[in-house]
Amino acid sequence: MARRPLRTAATTLAALLAVGLLGGCSGDTPTETAPTSDGDGTAADTSAASPSPSFTPRDLSDSVLGATLPESRGSSDGTVDGASATLEVAEVRASATATLLTFWYSGGDAAPVRRGNANWETFPTLVDTDAGRVYEPLTYTDFEGTTRCLCTDVVRVGDPPQVRTAMYPALPEDLTEVRVRQDGFEEPIVLEVTRP
């Protein structure tokens, strides 16, 4: 019988501590700041206006909704997932650390594309014919253990086209031209490498 009051006291103490901790960690910010002394013992008024926002809101709907495709600098006819399509390439932009390919598929019958992010093996490759090297998209392994590419995904081929991008390894600094190749498209697209 002597243990019950001790257990009740411990439970009450734990509840009071929990309430005190929760009250002290609410994350609320005070709505008023406490007055500070101005040096002669009297309180100074610190209720100055809050600073203005660091940006000016703008309506960007025209630039987003009115966005247009980049200019195609090369194309090749073929098939993707069994549907006729045209592979369009806008740019191969190389930096010291990586290469960005911007491309899309147009035409066809607006067929669904089954080649999603996980099937990076079917993405276009960059071919350096002089050195005999082929560059595939950069990849990573997700939390489920699936290898995926550093690229955007798309669900359809057709109109309106969906622009895609994919990251590739860095190209040699003296390389000025590459061939963009993809299975299903017979003719490679020869494109000048752009650099920042």
Average pLDDT across the chain, whole number:
76
Q: Please report the pLDDT score of residue 160 as a whole number.
A: 76
Residue 42's SS3 state is: coil
What tens digit of pLDDT does each residue of 175-193 get?
999 999 999 998 999 999 9
Asked if the model's pLDDT at residue 54 lies above 80, the reply is: no
Which parts of 147-188 fold into alpha helices (H)? none
Q: Which H/E stretch holds residue 156?
A: none
Which parts of the chain fold into alpha helices (H)? 3-24, 61-65
Q: Is the pTM of this model over 0.85?
A: no
Is 126 exposed, middle or buried (CB count within 10 Å of its CB: 0-12, 13-18, 19+)? Answer: buried
Q: Name the pLDDT band for 6 (thresholds 50, 70, 90).
A: very low
Residue 23's SS3 state is: helix
Q: What does the pLDDT average to over 108-115?
A: 60
Which residue bears the tokens 């969906």? Answer: 162
d(CA 11, CA 23): 18
Greatest alpha-carbon pair distance for the chain in Å reads 91
Name the nearest CA neighbour of 15 among 7, 4, 25: 7
d(CA 89, CA 82): 20
Domains and CATH numbers, the chain: 67-185 (2.60.40)
Contact (Cβ atoms closer than 8 angstroms) between residue 119 and residue 179:
no
Q: Please report the pLDDT score of residue 63 as a whole number.
A: 64
Asked if the model's pLDDT at residue 93 lies above 90, the reply is: yes
Q: Name the pLDDT band for 174 (thresholds 50, 70, 90).
A: very high
Q: For 36-40, 49-53, 79-83, 157-161, which range has the lowest pLDDT when averaged over its residues?
A: 36-40
